[in-house]
Amino acid sequence: MRIKIVKPQIKYLNQLEELKNDFIFSGESVDGVQGSADLLDFKNTIDWIDFVNKGVGKNNWVSFRQFLAVDETDSLLGLINLRLSLNDYLLNYGGHIGYAVSPKHRNKGVASKMLFQVLQICKKEKIDQVLITCLDTNLASEKVIIKNGGVLEDVRSNGKHNYKRFWIK
């Protein structure tokens, strides 16, 4: 399966709505969806598309680039978000990149391919060391990160969750 990373566009509106529902019905929306720039918090997905294409977050967010992962038929597979710098929270728990694959497209190598492509964008953005984190219970994400060159530095707790922190050079 070929995957390409694209900017969010109106033509993906229906698929984004379906993806939102997939995450909600799978029960994964409790703490938000990684890599989605708060997609579930927006009642109107068009507003979310406008928001993420500005690349400037709210309050204490850092500048970011939001991408969709689509296959050769333009079917939406997942979301991936690149933060261009790290604030204290991202340095400890969030990292430069967050991603989520649609529940129906998991275990097909989508996350590894998405991450690989965004790591190429990191090089263009002059981000030489990329921090990626995952919950210590998320073995699938840990495998994706390691497959893409991630080296575990440590595990940090925010009092609610433990996050494994990996660096990719």
pLDDT tens-digit map of 98-143: 999 999 999 999 999 999 999 999 999 999 999 999 999 999 999 9
Give DSSP secondary structure letters for 111-145.
HHHHHHHHHHHHHHTT--SEEEEEETT-HHHHHHH
Q: Report the DSSP beta bridge partners of residue 101.
A: 78
pLDDT score for 97: 96
Band of the pLDDT at 29, cuts 50, 70, 90?
low
Tell me the average pLDDT of the chain.
92
Q: Which residue do the tokens 């969806």 mark?
A: 33
pLDDT score for 40: 82
As a whole number of angstroms, the distance between CA 65 and CA 44 comes to: 20
Half-sphere exposure of residue 122: CA atoms within 13 angstroms, side-chain side: 23
pLDDT score for 30: 42
Encoded tokens for 41: 């918090």
pLDDT over 80 at 168, yes or no: yes
1-19 confidence digits (pLDDT tens): 899 999 999 999 999 999 9
Encoded tokens for 116: 């690989």
Mean pLDDT of 80-94: 95
Enumerate helices (H) and strands (E) in the chain, giving the number of each.
5, 7
pLDDT score for 46: 94
| Residue ranges covered by each domain of the chain | 3-126
Measured CA to CA in angstroms, residue 44 lies from 10, 32, 106 at distances of 12, 16, 26
pLDDT score for 56: 82
144-158 confidence digits (pLDDT tens): 999 999 999 999 999
CATH architecture of 3-126: 3-Layer(aba) Sandwich (3.40)
pLDDT score for 74: 97
As a whole number of angstroms, the distance between CA 100 and CA 80 comes to: 7
Work out the percent of the chain whose per-residue pLDDT is above 90.
Answer: 79
pLDDT score for 31: 54
pTM of the model: 0.92
